[in-house]
Structure 1
Amino acid sequence: MLGASAKFLAIALLAGSLAACVTDGGDQSSNQGGMVYTDDRGVADQPFPKDYREQVLAFLRTYLNNPVGVRDAAMAEPVQRTVGGRLRYVSCLRYNAREIDGSYGGVVQRAAVYVDARLDRMIEKAGEICAGVAYAPFPELEKLTR
């Protein structure tokens, strides 16, 4: 049977071990906002994300409160940009999605960042990253279902 101090020490060690496993992306997000989904090894020579449209659609199907009836969807082909001090492929998108109450909140701009050709994170404040990209219609997003 463990004493009170031994139990406390065991719990503290367990909590410390678990805390070491959790990350918010560190410098990878570089105050850009967004959630990190892959292990970014910092490799500069990144492959082009060939199925970037499908990856974004799969993500938005779960990300959007209501993925049905998206309007004004447009997406730019991935281009290389520096994000968090690292060269990454980024595809920018704009869309007007329905809110929970069914109304439209207005067009938003997002940047999808890829690491090793996989969607790594979605940056919500994408103004500077998406400056000067050429948008094309993204009808697949407007046809999205639950």
Structure 2
Amino acid sequence: MRPFNPATLLLLVVTLGGCAGPGNMTFTDDRGTGNQPFPANYRSELLAFFRTYLTNPVGVRDAMMAEPVQRSVAGRQRYVSCLRFNARQSDGAYIGVRERAVVYVDARLDRVLEEPGDACAGVNYLPFPELEKMAR
């Protein structure tokens, strides 16, 4: 029998951890609690996040946002804010209007759903001029 190699175990854990995929990655420690606080700083958190999320945050058009509402996401109650926007690619061309759902856990931005599905059904979009005025 070969001796135990800690480096091999670490490699296995890192490899298997990657199997969760980007759709399951979160930024917060999701405790799974049902009673979630309202994300009071959602506007400033969204702007800070989208400054790095977008390839080119300058010149966003048609920015609309729905205030956070409680929705079921993966079987858990979460606050979700929905966005629509038309951002530029790195070459300056516009990519067309995209819809994203931003999920909050414990009042903090947790993840962005690139395919929001039912999470954004029936929300009331309002203009989001701060996203259109972003600079690098």
Residue from 91, 97, 112 that aligns with 1:122: 112
Stretches of 4+ aligned residues off by more than 3 angstroms = 16-25
* C-alpha displacement of 1:45: 0.3
Task: Report the 3-state secondary structure (helix = DSSP H, G, I; strand = E; otherwise coil) of the residue aligned with 2:80.
Answer: strand
TM-score by length of 1: 0.84
Equivalence map 1:30-109=2 (5 Å): 33=23, 35-109=25-99
**Residues 41 and 70 of structure 1: is their aligned pair in 2 closer, same or farther, counting only changes over 3 Å?**
same
The alignment-based identity, stated in percent, is: 61
Structure 2 gap segments, 5+ residues each: none
**Residues 17 and 108 of structure 1: is their aligned pair in 2 closer, same or farther, counting only changes over 3 Å?**
closer
CA separation in 1, counterparts of 2:94 and 2:66? 22
Q: Is 2:9 the counterpart of 1:13?
A: yes
Q: For this pair of structures, how many residues does the alignment match?
A: 135
Deviation sequence 1:74-112 (CA, Å, 0-9, x none): 000000000010000000000000011100010000000
Task: Report the 3-state secondary structure (helix = DSSP H, G, I; strand = E; otherwise coil) of the residue aligned with 1:92.
Answer: strand
CA separation in 2, counterparts of 1:59 and 1:23? 25
TM-score by length of 2: 0.89
CA separation in 1, counterparts of 2:40 and 2:121? 22
Q: Structure 1: which amino acid aligns with 2:49?
A: F
